[in-house]
A and B are shown apart, each in its own frame.
Chain A
């Protein structure tokens, strides 16, 4: 009998941040009310871009290899499963080791839970919940032939590079046809680079200087706060 499992594709450019995937995911009884998919704004305040992130099911998963309790298992279909409940000690190694930031530790139940590609559904030949409801096709479940026919201007790859580390995954990501490897670098964190944190700080300083609004509470700031901050001419120019 052939495997009922197909391929999972993420097409980041198509995500509109509607969170339908998260709502559908949290319907699942294995993690009631808690979505295992992450939808994040990539640069809040600067860009409306959002990124959906499911478990990429690495061929050599850093989460499983760094688990001191041997609680994360990979099955014969390449699915990396949630922690085995009796074993997981909620140490957080998996959460901190995963290059994609996927596993979630629930402190209150002392357990790591993560996307298992809706194992109960995919095992029975169905689509994962998120891919079933995604209105834009940012999350797609099917065969390589199907996705190539549907999106000829992109191509699926499953090779990532994080700094010096190459990671191969079971889940595919759609990229332009001349890209062979998803390179994740972090130039914004290089020494001397203008990071998003600096930007946020500058915005806050500006709000405080002009005594207009506290961006978080939408209330005028107390005067004492505004008067204490200063800004350099360079920064004022930047803003």
Chain B
């Protein structure tokens, strides 16, 4: 395949609606960077590489998210989620915010479902997630020039002034525990991420279930990336704090290389789940008893097995995907209105009919 036909093929594959969304998001972020850094006055040129990597990552993430939303199942699920979230019926008795708050707490903040997969696993995931959130909260505003520090009072009680979006918002003493944490937030983050990665790596090396299905690019590469970011960042600190800047410039370049690599990989690899995962909140609206959906009973087992709303939505999706599980004659329920157990029972009976007593 020639280069020009490869380019043509690539362009044909592009989803132009998603390109538009991604461009809009990247331009908005670029404008926010210019405005937030007071026309780049507060922008640190040394961090420009990070900024461009972030803009690229934003484009990629919004592009992938937009393409993802065009899938019939995803689109219907997305719309239904928001619809239920703002449904006036569910706002009676504040049920909607209660469902949402419960889901945010359980599924995003505490992640108790990971705990039930394993205590160490939860520990590893929380350390990595906590470290990454902390590091992101510090890095991005710094890189965008939204936050910078200027010298405040001089003398024995010297202070720093924190500027945010071009406004002085806080003055903090140069010495002391709070300012140590402010200036060493990324070191703290690396002390969370490194043990977290160690725990995850140990599990991936020893757990037979994990070993059976893991793949290098999908499961190990993200851990290696996070580890190299955290370790190189930590080495930078050791270099300037304890070794008088020994090897600093090489380490700084290596650190930039690992961070930019991670940012660029965000839209493609496993870490995209950070953006995809909040869809779990929509599920809560289908399932929560607070939502009070009518449950569909299986005509075979007689047991309630799913909210009728979900089976209706699913049937629409399946129709859109050109599946037709309706019975011939239209007098019976569609196959999806039978519970999974009921389906298996009917398959067994259908097989008996196909055999017509000819067992061999």
What 0/1 readout, one digit per residue, does chain B (166-204) give for beta carbons within 8 Å of chain A? 000000000000000000000000000000000000000
What 0/1 readout, one digit per residue, does chain A (171-205) give for beta carbons within 8 Å of chain B? 00101100100111110111100011100100000
Q: Does B273 contact A (CB under 8 A)?
A: yes
**How far does the Cβ of B222 sit from chain A's closest Cβ, in whole Å?**
10
Hey, which chain A residues are within 8 Å of B334, CB to CB?
163
Name the interface residues of A141-171: CB closer than 8 Å to any CB of B: 151, 153-154, 162-165
Q: Tell me the complex Cα distance, A164–B327, Å.
A: 6
Closest residue of chain A to B67, judged by CB? A70
Stretch at the interface among B16-24, B208-216, B228-236, B251-259: B208-216
Stretch at the interface among A23-31, A128-136, A217-225: A23-31
Q: Tell me the complex Cα distance, A62–B72, Å.
A: 12
Hey, which chain B residues are within 8 Å of A215, CB to CB?
none
Q: Tell me the complex Cα distance, A62–B287, Å.
A: 21
Q: A43-B345, A120-B213, A183-B354 are in contact. Are A95 and B340 (CB under 8 A)?
A: yes
Hey, which chain B residues are within 8 Å of A151, CB to CB?
360
Q: Tell me the complex Cα distance, A68–B278, Å.
A: 12
Q: A96-B336, A99-B335, A189-B338 are in contact. Are A90 and B324 (CB under 8 A)?
A: no
Q: A13-B359, A182-B351 are in contact. Are A197 and B318 (CB under 8 A)?
A: no
Contact yes or no, B318 A53, CB < 8 A:
no
Contact yes or no, B116 A97, CB < 8 A:
no
What 0/1 readout, one digit per residue, does chain A (64-103) give for beta carbons within 8 Å of chain B? 0111111000000000011000110111110111111111
Contact yes or no, A66 B280, CB < 8 A:
no
Q: Does A41 contact B (CB under 8 A)?
A: yes
Q: Tell me the complex Cα distance, A99–B344, Å.
A: 9
Q: A96-B314, A99-B325, A110-B113 are in contact. Are A70 and B71 (CB under 8 A)?
A: yes
Hey, which chain A residues are within 8 Å of B68, CB to CB?
70
Q: Does A207 contact B (CB under 8 A)?
A: no
Contact yes or no, B336 A97, CB < 8 A:
yes
Hey, which chain B residues are within 8 Å of A163, CB to CB?
324-328, 334-335
SS of B interface (majority): helix
Hey, which chain B residues are within 8 Å of A190, CB to CB?
327, 329, 331-332
Q: Does B38 contact A (CB under 8 A)?
A: no
Hey, which chain B residues are within 8 Å of A185, CB to CB?
327-328, 350
Contact yes or no, B335 A110, CB < 8 A:
no
Q: Does A208 contact B (CB under 8 A)?
A: no
Q: A101-B341, A183-B354, A195-B300 are in contact. Are A96 and B346 (CB under 8 A)?
A: no
Hey, which chain A residues are within 8 Å of B347, CB to CB?
51, 53, 100-101, 184
Q: Does A232 contact B (CB under 8 A)?
A: no
Hey, which chain A residues are within 8 Å of B270, CB to CB?
86
Hey, which chain B residues are within 8 Å of A66, CB to CB?
73, 314, 317-318, 321
Q: A96-B310, A154-B360, A185-B350 are in contact. Are A41 and B345 (CB under 8 A)?
A: yes
Contact yes or no, B326 A42, CB < 8 A:
no
Contact yes or no, B302 A189, CB < 8 A:
no
Q: Does B343 contact A (CB under 8 A)?
A: yes
Contact yes or no, A165 B286, CB < 8 A:
no
Q: Tell me the complex Cα distance, A68–B283, Å.
A: 10
Q: Tell me the complex Cα distance, A89–B311, Å.
A: 17
Hey, which chain B residues are within 8 Å of A200, CB to CB?
302
Q: Can you name 14 extra interface pairs (CB under 8 A) apart from A53-B347, A96-B340?
A: A40-B345, A49-B352, A51-B348, A53-B344, A68-B78, A70-B68, A91-B282, A91-B286, A99-B335, A100-B347, A162-B325, A163-B325, A176-B360, A189-B300
What residues of chain B have their CB less than 8 Å away from a CB belonging to chain A? 68, 71, 73-74, 76-78, 107, 113-114, 116-117, 207-209, 212-213, 270, 273, 276-277, 279-280, 282-283, 286-287, 299-302, 306, 310-311, 314, 317-318, 321, 323-329, 331-336, 338-352, 354-356, 358-360
- Contacts A/B (CB < 8 Å), 29 sampled: A29-B207, A40-B344, A41-B345, A43-B345, A51-B348, A81-B213, A86-B277, A92-B306, A93-B73, A97-B314, A99-B343, A101-B344, A109-B114, A120-B213, A151-B360, A164-B327, A175-B354, A176-B356, A183-B350, A186-B333, A186-B335, A186-B338, A186-B346, A188-B300, A189-B327, A190-B327, A195-B299, A196-B300, A200-B302
What residues of chain A have their CB less than 8 Å away from a CB belonging to chain B? 12-13, 28-32, 38, 40-43, 49-51, 53, 62, 65-70, 81-82, 86-87, 89-93, 95-103, 108-111, 116, 119-120, 151, 153-154, 162-165, 173, 175-176, 179, 182-186, 188-191, 195-197, 200
